[in-house]
């Protein structure tokens, strides 16, 4: 197996500092103290690939776009080129992928988000070479990604056939304003595997009764700090509490008032009290509770909170299982198991987080 590996070093950096993405916001993300997310996720995938497929031939691009992560996983890569400057962009990704195709790779494995997926897919158009994403972006709407870095390694080592799937992306400036308008950017060939992420559904069902019940419970416990996640389902709960929340951000509520609106990871940590509850809804069609669209809910935040999962019945009808991809494999493992998901004013449904 000959794999072309490329890494978008800034993918997902804006998430935990509340920027909902990194497009055009790299300097601001760094000024807020953002740390790179993609390199660690790359090393997780490549270390697992070394265990499963130690004889794999790896071609990659020079730092900061893959070489160091490949070597850290004990592969001896063929470095086909390097980015032109200190700051990388789509043109660097496209140049790397073109070089991989010329080198005859069997697959392009990349680390990034939807924008990176679109760049890779466009560079691969017409070549027949499959691609697979290791998710590191904030949003990840496209269905060309593995569920987790470790799953990506498993897929590379074991897949037998491919299929065509959609690559979606959204305008991050609109996203920061609460407008979600996914655009089809490409159709790419990817492996067929159960551990592939499905495309993200945008629709939902009525959640009025659910929101009323959860809001009543929140009001009955004023001593608790509630960390209210993004999305329309939890947004309806925020409306029921009487405030206009951040539609795609995280808001913190305690004792009848908003403590922090559109909070970063650090602002959430600073606002937590002795008793804390995260209220979050899985992403429709995918089932992710943590790790897609809400990186502010970091492992440090999650470990200090109880978790309440809410969803409409219609959303759960399209979700087979729940998932978590928190950047912390030990926490992901601890979260696995059966969860009660609140689906109505009083009703719950049992769902397994895998």
Q: CB count, 10 Å around CB of 2?
A: 14
**Confidence check: pLDDT of 326 > 70:** yes
pLDDT of residue 345: 82
Helices (H), the chain: 26-31, 38-52, 67-72, 90-102, 114-124, 149-158, 172-176, 208-219, 232-241, 265-271, 299-303, 313-317, 329-335
For residue 216, being part of any structural domain is answered with yes
Span 14-31, pLDDT tens digits: 556 555 555 555 566 566
For residue 73, being part of any structural domain is answered with yes
**Confidence check: pLDDT of 202 > 50:** no
Contacts 24+ apart (CB under 8 A), 332-341: 332/148, 335/289, 335/290, 335/302, 339/307, 339/309, 340/309, 341/282, 341/309, 341/310, 341/311, 341/316
pLDDT (average), residues 209-215: 91
| Dist. CA 115–CA 144, nearest whole Å | 12
**Confidence check: pLDDT of 200 > 70:** no
Q: Are residues 33 and 175 in the same domain?
A: yes
Q: Between these two residues, 199 and 135, which has the higher pLDDT value?
A: 135
pLDDT (average), residues 182-203: 79
pLDDT of residue 209: 84
Decide if 228 contacts 196 (C-beta within 8 A): no
Q: Are residues 7 and 102 in the same domain?
A: yes
**Confidence check: pLDDT of 180 > 80:** no
Q: Are residues 110 and 218 in the same domain?
A: no
Mean pLDDT, the chain, integer: 89
Q: Between these two residues, 147 and 183, which has the higher pLDDT value?
A: 147
Q: Are residues 38 and 127 in the same domain?
A: yes
pLDDT of residue 144: 94
Span 28-49, pLDDT tens digits: 656 676 567 789 999 999 999 9
pLDDT (average), residues 61-72: 96
pLDDT of residue 163: 92
pLDDT of residue 174: 58
Q: Are residues 330 and 241 in the same domain?
A: yes
pLDDT of residue 204: 43
pLDDT of residue 102: 98
Q: Are residues 87 and 30 in the same domain?
A: yes
| Domain that residue 320 falls in | 208-353
pLDDT of residue 18: 55
Give me the percent of the chain exceeding a pLDDT of 90.
67
For residue 202, being part of any structural domain is answered with no
Q: In which band, very low, low, confident or very high, does the pLDDT at 205 lie, cut at 50, 70 and 90? A: very low
pLDDT (average), residues 306-319: 90
What radius of gyration do the chain's Cα atoms show? 20
pLDDT (average), residues 234-240: 95
Q: Are residues 74 and 166 in the same domain?
A: yes
pLDDT of residue 29: 53
Q: Are residues 49 and 181 in the same domain?
A: yes
**Confidence check: pLDDT of 121 > 60:** yes
**Confidence check: pLDDT of 173 > 60:** no
Decide if 269 contacts 297 (C-beta within 8 A): no
pLDDT (average), residues 289-299: 93
Pull the structure tokens for residue 111.
């680390």
Decide if 4 contacts 111 (C-beta within 8 A): no
3-state secondary structure of 101: helix
**Confidence check: pLDDT of 222 > 60:** yes
Q: In which band, very low, low, confident or very high, does the pLDDT at 284 lie, cut at 50, 70 and 90? A: confident
- Whether the pTM exceeds 0.75: the reply is no
For residue 198, being part of any structural domain is answered with no
pLDDT (average), residues 250-270: 96
CATH code, 117:
3.40.50.10330
pLDDT (average), residues 225-230: 97
User: In total, how many domains does the chain have?
Assistant: 2
């Amino acid at each position: 197996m000959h794999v072309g590996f490329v890494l978008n070093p800034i993918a997902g950096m804006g998430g935990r500092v509340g920027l909902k993405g990194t497009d055009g916001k790299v300097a601001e993300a760094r000024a807020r103290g953002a740390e790179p997310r993609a390199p660690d996720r790359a090393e997780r995938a490549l270390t697992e690939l070394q265990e499963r497929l130690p004889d794999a031939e790896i071609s990659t691009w020079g730092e900061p776009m893959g070489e160091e992560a490949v070597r850290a996983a004990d592969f001896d890569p063929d470095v086909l080129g390097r980015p032109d400057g200190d700051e990388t962009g789509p043109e660097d990704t496209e140049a790397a992928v073109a070089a991989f195709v010329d080198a005859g790779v069997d697959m392009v494995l990349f680390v990034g988000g939807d924008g990176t997926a679109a760049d890779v897919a466009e560079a691969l158009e017409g070549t027949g070479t499959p691609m697979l994403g290791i998710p590191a972006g904030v949003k990840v709407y496209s269905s060309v990604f593995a569920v987790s870095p470790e799953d990506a390694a498993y897929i590379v080592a074991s897949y037998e056939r491919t299929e065509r799937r959609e690559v979606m992306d959204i305008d991050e400036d609109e996203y920061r304003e609460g407008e979600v308008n996914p655009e089809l950017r490409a159709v790419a060939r990817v492996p067929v595997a159960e551990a592939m992420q499905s495309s993200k559904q945008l629709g939902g069902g009525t959640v009025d009764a659910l929101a009323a019940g959860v809001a009543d419970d929140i009001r009955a416990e004023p001593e608790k700090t509630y960390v209210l996640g993004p999305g329309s389902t939890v947004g309806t709960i925020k409306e029921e509490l009487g405030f206009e929340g951040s539609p795609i951000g995280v808001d913190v509520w305690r004792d009848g008032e908003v403590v922090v609106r559109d909070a970063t990871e650090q602002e959430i940590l600073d606002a937590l009290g002795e008793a804390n509850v995260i209220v979050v809804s899985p992403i429709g069609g995918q089932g992710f509770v943590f790790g897609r669209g809400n990186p502010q809910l970091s492992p440090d935040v999650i470990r200090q909170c109880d978790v309440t999962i809410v969803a409409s019945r219609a959303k759960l009808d399209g979700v087979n299982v729940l998932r978590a991809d928190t950047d912390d494999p030990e926490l992901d493992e601890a979260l696995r198991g059966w969860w009660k998901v609140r689906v109505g004013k009083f009703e719950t449904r049992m769902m397994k987080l895998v």
